[in-house]
Structure 1
Amino acid sequence: MAETILVAGTASHVGKSTVAAGLCRLLADRGVSVAPFKAQNMSNNARATPGGEIGVSQYVQARAARVSPSTDHNPVLLKPRGDGESQLVVDGDAVGNYAAGSYYEEHWEDALGAAAAAHDRLAADHDVVVAEGAGSIAEINLHHRDLANVETARFADADILLVADIERGGVFASLVGTLELVPDDIRERIGGVVITKFRGDESLLAPGLEAFEERTGVPVLGVLPYDDPGLPEEDSVALPSVGEGAVRGDDDGVPDEHSITVAVPRLPRISNFTDLQPLAAEPGVRVAYVPPSATLAGADAVVLPGSKNTVDDLLALREAGFDDRLREFDGPVVGLCGGYQMLGEEITNASVEGTGSTARVDGFGLLPVRTRFSTEKTVEHVERHVDGVGPLSGASGTVSGYEIHMGESEPTADVARPFADSGAGADDAFGTYLHDLFTNRAARDAFVKNTFEAAGVERLWADQDERTDPYDRAGALVGDHVDPGPLPVDW
């Protein structure tokens, strides 16, 4: 059986996913057969595998490990949909929508069994399993049903690497408090600590590291400098809160007068926002997450992202007057998945997707498309030939991505179909179910070029070299700054 390392955290968003991905790439490059694992994930950022959907971080970690992503890498996925409910996905299949109470009372034991079985299959086929925890491992109110942390450590017989984020302050208090609050058997499994997101002179941190080790007896195995390898984000905590309107991609050195701004409404139930990361990585492209009430006066293009609950998010945008401002907007507009459904004329059987009982909802009317929801869910990898129209005019060739959606959309009138039999495009609007659209260079380059031209902005540095592989960057970050110490691996 494989050795299992559980990368657990003192809190959410401390860098567990990056450390886990870095370990996967580092070990894979050393010739170790390694697989990622997360027993239970809660995220609306998912990816399609041949067996169903999993959280984006485990998809990314599988690629870092150079293995094909599978549902065993994330056997239990909870996708929040509003009003205290989440869609439960077990072994890649959507089981149903449940409130937290009913999930823990009726389905948690089955989820635990599925997670343990998935781990055992991975452990039988690999030398090392790199498991990722969820949130904090020290949530004392959840220790009796903490599937991703406590239960994983137990059924996987895992050594634990504890990760803490220094950027927000209080790192030593977080570490000591976590060690004090975890169950005794879990405390014994913690082999070392990694501190992430450090800025400045590490020598100034040395007295604190020594004092921590003396107090707890747990070694600090590494301090990672603040660095973003460029891996897709999983948690919406990485996005600005509604009302902040923060801009991503504004540190590329391109002057404002040679830049464009892509406005993205910060939907209450936004999902798969990683679709926008390739745009934010383009020099001269600013991706601004704006509240539904925001003006579009400073935007050069608008992208409506995916939503875990298209109907309720559409109604939230309409209540804020966003639909009126969007119809008045004269730049390129792209809708991705749920955003595509919103751009159509109407949504029928809407109660299947919304949390209310509404049967029909008017769309924004920018595309002659009607969407009908059903209980059937599409989850698949796709490759299609793109014949770019509207905001993607000029794009051609094969593009790949994945679809995860409820409902089907059909034209109500003659309209350009950019993917032969799916999607829709007009002069200034484009909609598709294809996630990861902008990871395809042909689609991304066409959209960026057309937006610069529509905005009348001269683009600098249009020809970009390929960037360093983010998986290699994550591996180097861990390999250069972490000593495996007592962990059952070496590099």
Structure 2
Amino acid sequence: MAATILVAGTASHVGKSTVAAGLCRLLADRGVSVAPFKAQNMSNNARATPGGEIGVSQYVQARGARVPPSTDHNPVLLKPRGGGESQLVLDGEAVGNYAAGSYYDDHWDDALAAAEAAYDRLAADHEAVVAEGAGSIAEINLHHRDLANVETARFADADILLVADIERGGVFASLVGTLELVPDDIRERVVGAVVTKFRGDRSLLSPGLDAFEERTGVPVLGVLPYDDPGLPEEDSVALPPVGERAVRGADDGVPDERSVTVAVPRLPRISNFTDLQPLASEHGVRVAYVPPTASLADADAVVLPGSKNTVDDLLALREAGFGDRLRAFDGPVVGLCGGYQMLGEAITNASLEGTGERNRIAGFGLLPVRTRFSTEKTVEHVERRIDGVGPLEGAAGTVSGYEIHTGESEPSANVRAPFEGDGAATADVLGTYLHDLFTNRAAVDAFVENTFAAAGVERPATAGEGRLDPYDRTATLVRDHVDPGPLPVAW
């Protein structure tokens, strides 16, 4: 059986996914056969694998481990859809929408069985498994059914690496409190701690590290400096609240007057917003997540992202007057998946997706397409030839990505399909079901070039240069700042 490390956290968004991805790449580069694992994930950022959909972090970690992504890497996925419900995905397949109480009362045993079976298959095929926990391992109200943390540590016989974030303060209280609150058998499995997101002089932190080790007997194996290697975010914790604005990509040294802004409405039920991260890494491109009520006056382009509940998010945007402002907007507009559905004329069978009983919902009418929802779900990885039209004018070659959606969109008039039958495009507006569109160089270059041209701004000459592989950056971050001594596998 494989040696297993469980990367657990004192809270959400402390850096577990980054540490796990770095461990996967380090071990793979040392010739260790390693697989990622997360028993239960809650995220609307998902990716398609040959067997179904999994959370984005395990897809990323599989790439870090240099193994094909598999549903075994994330056998249980909960996708929040609003109203206190989540869609339950077991072994890559959606099985239904359930409130939290119903999930724990009626489906948790099935989820536990799926997770144990998936782990056993991975452990039989690999030398090491790097498991990622979820949220905090110290949620005492959930210890009897904490699948991603407590149960994983037990059925995987895992050594635990505890991760805590110092950026918000209180890191030592978080670490000590977590160790005090976990079950005794879980506490005995903790072999070390890692502090993440540290800024400043390490020597000033040393007295606290020494005191922590003396108090708990748990060694601090590393302090990671604040860094963003560029891996996709796991969930919307990284985004601003719906009513606030936040800008990504503003620290590249390009003056504001030489940059362009891509506005992204912060949907209440936003999903797969990692589609926008590649744009924020382009020199001179600012990705601004804006409230649905925000003006588009300072935007040079607009991208409508995916949604776990297209109908309710469409209604929220309409109530905020966003549709009127979008129709008046003079610049490139792209809709991805749910955003594509919103750009069309109408959605029928709408009650299958949103709350309420209405069968037909009017879209924004920027594309001559109509979407009809059904109970069938498309989950697949795709590669298509690109027809460079509209906001992607000038693009050529092939693009790859994935589709995860319910509903099918059909043209109501003659309109160009930019991806071999998928999507629709006019001179300024494009919609597609293709997630990861902007990870393709041809697509991102064409969109950025056209956005700069529409804004009347010359694209910075350094655009597209100097990007480092995020997996290697993550591995370097962990290698340079973490001591593997007590871990069951080392690099």
Q: Quote the sequence identity (%).
A: 85
Distance 1:459 1:403 in 2: 31
Give CA-to-partner distance per residue, 1:338-381, whole Å, 9 cap, x none.
00000000000001111222111000000000000000000000
Corresponding position: 1:268 with 2:261: no
Distance 2:331 2:78 in 1: 36
Other-structure match for 1:352: 352
Look up the SS of the partner of 1:387 in the other structure.
coil
Other-structure match for 1:161: 161
Distance 2:147 2:463 in 1: 47
Other-structure match for 1:9: 9
Distance 1:458 1:420 in 2: 31
Letter in structure 2 aligned against 1:446: A
Give CA-to-partner distance per residue, 1:396-450, whole Å, 9 cap, x none.
1100000000000000000011112110000110000000000001010000000
Letter in structure 2 aligned against 1:110: D
Distance 1:298 1:170 in 2: 38
Other-structure match for 2:225: 225
TM-aligned CA deviation for residue 54 of structure 1: 0.1
Distance 1:329 1:158 in 2: 54
Distance 2:380 2:466 in 1: 28
Distance 2:466 2:210 in 1: 41
Question: Size of the alignment, in residue pairs?
Answer: 491
Distance 1:231 1:356 in 2: 37
Residues 417, 424 of structure 1: 8 Å contact kept: yes
Other-structure match for 1:91: 91
Distance 2:490 2:260 in 1: 46
Distance 1:32 1:263 in 2: 43
Contiguous gaps of at least 5 residues in structure 2: none
Distance 2:431 2:8 in 1: 39
Aligned pairs for 1:294-305 (under 5 A) are 294-305=294-305
Other-structure match for 2:216: 216
Distance 2:345 2:246 in 1: 30
Letter in structure 2 aligned against 1:74: N
Aligned pairs for 1:25-424 (under 5 A) are 25-424=25-424
Contiguous gaps of at least 5 residues in structure 1: none
Distance 1:400 1:456 in 2: 30
Name segments (4+ residues, structure 1) moved above 3 Å.
none
Letter in structure 1 aligned against 2:9: G
Distance 1:299 1:7 in 2: 40
Give CA-to-partner distance per residue, 1:23-63, whole Å, 9 cap, x none.
00000011100000000000000000000000000000000
Look up the SS of the partner of 1:67 in the other structure.
coil
Distance 2:462 2:426 in 1: 26
Other-structure match for 2:456: 456
Look up the SS of the partner of 1:460 in the other structure.
coil
Residues 260, 285 of structure 1: 8 Å contact kept: yes
Distance 1:375 1:4 in 2: 38
Residues 54, 75 of structure 2: 8 Å contact kept: yes
TM-aligned CA deviation for residue 324 of structure 1: 0.4
Give CA-to-partner distance per residue, 1:59-98, whole Å, 9 cap, x none.
0000000000000000000000000010000000000000
Distance 1:405 1:18 in 2: 27
Corresponding position: 1:478 with 2:478: yes
Which shifted more, 327-336 or 350-359? 350-359
Give CA-to-partner distance per residue, 1:94-123, whole Å, 9 cap, x none.
000001011001100010000000000000
Which shifted more, 233-242 or 371-380? 233-242
Other-structure match for 1:428: 428
TM-aligned CA deviation for residue 463 of structure 1: 4.5
Residues 284, 463 of structure 2: 8 Å contact kept: no
Letter in structure 2 aligned against 1:58: Q
- What RMSD in Å do the two structures reach over aligned CA positions? 0.7
Look up the SS of the partner of 2:212 in the other structure.
helix
Look up the SS of the partner of 2:361 in the other structure.
strand
Give CA-to-partner distance per residue, 1:219-269, whole Å, 9 cap, x none.
000000111110000110101112221100000000111100000000000
Distance 2:165 2:187 in 1: 19
Letter in structure 1 aligned against 2:447: F
Look up the SS of the partner of 1:120 in the other structure.
helix
